[in-house]
Amino acid sequence: MADQPEEASASCAHEGLRQRKLRQTREHVEQVTVDLVDRLGYDEVSVEMICDQAEISPRTFYNYFGTKDAAILGYIPASIDADALQEFIARADDDIIDALLRLIASAENSPLRRSSLQAQRHRILHQHPHLLTEMASRIERLQSRLNDAIAERVACELGAAPTDATVQQRARLLFAVVTAVIKISLVAGPEPLTQDLPVSEAAVLERLRSARRLAVEMLQ
């Protein structure tokens, strides 16, 4: 029995290494895809070309992404850290939209944190607007859990139940606003200053806040 904690620790370490390798492979394929599309053009790049350049099999590519567009846009996590969500719900005394932007910026796996791809994706999204629609639909994977958290917070602010129709409507509108801000940040945000280092959480947050300000100006 005394050996069990050591075995459990070894198992966790092994899983951590496996997950890290999966992430590194995924990020490598994303970089190769974006490099090719940025250099050769969207229509000139095939999945076969990506696989050849990345030195992976088509089966591996489809296991990770499924489509060329998905590889261009990159990985979007299907969930947000539970502790971060609870902090968001509990802090009902600040700007709820800014709090949502902080929540998005804090996600370590967010494509917004990958500086080496930002300028290239920026150009590609400008040239191919259909990718923005795809980006928006993929962001919606986060909607259910995030909507629940927004509803809990709004319910506290309004003194109503999370299932109240007014609360649910406001939660959906807030999510739509944040989705729009993310889209604007991808096509109208500043170019990254460095291309070889991860973008900091603070830099991503400032990019999102700038996009929010731009959205407000456009509506005036």
pTM comes to 0.57
> CB of 29 within 8 A of CB of 61?
yes
Name the CATH architecture for the domain at 1-72.
Answer: Orthogonal Bundle (1.10)
Rounded to the nearest 10 degrees, how much is the dihedral formed by the CA atoms of 186, 187, 188, 190? 60
Instruction: Return the structure tokens found at 57.
Output: 């099999």
Q: What is the pLDDT of residue 188?
A: 65
CATH 1.10.357.10 positions along the chain are 1-72
Query: Cα separation of 160 and 48, whole Å?
Result: 54
Q: What is the pLDDT of residue 2?
A: 43
* DSSP-H helix ranges across the chain: 4-40, 47-54, 58-64, 68-73, 82-90, 96-105, 115-127, 130-139, 143-158, 165-188, 201-219
Q: What whole-number distance in Å separates Cα of residue 148 and Cα of residue 165?
A: 13
Spatial neighbors of 201 by CB under 8 A, at least 6 apart, are 105, 106, 113
Give the C-alpha distances (Å, rounded to integers) separating 25 from 20, 22, 62: 9, 5, 13
Quote the pLDDT of residue 140: 67
pLDDT tens string, the chain, 220 residues long: the values are 444 444 444 444 444 777 778 878 988 999 999 999 999 999 999 999 999 999 999 999 999 998 999 899 887 665 577 788 888 888 877 899 999 988 888 776 565 665 557 678 878 888 888 887 777 776 666 677 788 889 999 998 889 999 999 999 999 899 888 888 887 876 665 554 444 445 677 888 888 898 899 888 888 7
From the CB of residue 185, how many other CB atoms can be counted at a distance below 10 Å?
Answer: 25
Class of domain 76-220: mainly alpha
